[in-house]
Amino acid sequence: MNWKNVLNADPTEWLLEGEPWVRYNTLRVLLEKESHSSEVENTREKLVAHPLIKSLIAEVKEWPSYPLKRHNDAKHPLHKLAVLADFGITANDPEMRNIHEKVLQHQSQDGAFQIDMLIPPHFGGSGNPEKIWMACDAPTSLYALLKMGFKNKHVQTAIEHLTSLIRENGVLCTGENPTFRGPGRKSDPCPYATLLVTKALSQVPEMRKKTVSRGAEMLLWHWEHQEERRPYLFGIGTNFRKLKYPFVWYDILHVADVLSQIDFLKDDERLKEMVDTIVSKQDSDGRFTPESVWMAFKKWDFGQKKAPSAWITFLVARIVKRMYS
């Protein structure tokens, strides 16, 4: 099946009229243009020079910035670093080497990248800011570095540590603070932590067959048993199904984007059902409108709910292309 036939209309021409990050990824991923073509190179120059991109980079340069109090804080540099990686910013772009060095300065003895965090006493923390890692934040830093093309012994150590967190049933609620645990059964995997670990390790091709498959199976199991289980209060309901970017939390677009990268899952009926749910939200032009937004990104086309978003449309088209090419 041609992936474009899954959509009501081919959105490619419309995407090429979008912002530089939309055009760049459309050219590279959907149209499979070579990176050294003049069209791609010119678009990439505009991507790097765009004021909104420069603003994100300036914020990430403040790393590690203010203490994180909740993991779905979209304005935190942790998530903005991942957005830059998603758009196509690489290790060779301006300021990224300096940012990379700042991230590496906060690596635990375990190998995980730390951030400043404030955990309340009722969750087992001190109530004061401290540099620690948790399974629901460290993978995001590693994902961004891997996606941007950073490769060194520190990154390899972080990969090895993240791999050690995967159990047969996924990734548990765990971190550097041994007294912390979220609101769930100790033996249960955490869907969000499992998603983030799977996402980061999916950037390492040799990890996809065995290691990543455990996390993927847990996420598909959760979809399959959505009526019965809400591990650590993560449910699969109305909010989960809303199209939303950036990928800050546990939702359908985030999960499908991660799982659709794993080739051997293309024929999995649970993933197909998830993707069908997403595709059913398209308009007559094959475009997709955000159904929920992060106010920290209200200046972006995915930060409003009134009109189709070129970036979210690209993300869905990429998922469909992976599944049906």
DSSP 46-106: HHHH-HHHHHHHHHHTTTT-SPBSSTT-TTSHHHHHHHHHHHT--TTSTTHHHHHHHHHTT
The pLDDT assigned to 115 comes to 95
Say if CB 290 and CB 251 are below 8 A apart. no
What does the DSSP 8-state code read for residue 29? Answer: I
Q: Mean pLDDT for each consecutive 10-residue tract of the chain (325 residues)?
A: 91 98 98 96 98 97 93 96 98 95 95 92 82 95 97 95 93 85 81 97 82 93 91 91 98 98 94 98 98 97 98 98 93
Give the Cβ contact number of residue 41 at 10 Å: 12
Residue type, 57: I
CA pseudo-torsion sign 229, 233, 236, 238 = positive
Say if CB 288 and CB 263 are below 8 A apart. no
The pLDDT assigned to 208 comes to 67
Say if CB 242 and CB 291 are below 8 A apart. yes
Residue 106, Cβ density class (10 Å: 0-12 exposed, 13-18 middle, ≥19 buried): middle
First to last CA, the chain: 7
Q: How far is CA 173 from CA 59, 103, 229, in A?
A: 29, 23, 16
The pLDDT assigned to 184 comes to 74
Say if CB 199 and CB 168 are below 8 A apart. no
Rounded to 5°, angle at Cα 171 from 60 and 120 = 60
Q: How far apart are CA 181 and CA 173, in angstroms?
A: 6
Q: Phi and psi for 171 in degrees, rounded to 5?
A: -115, 130
DSSP 276-316: HHHHTT--TTS----SS--GGGTTSTTS-SSS--HHHHHHH
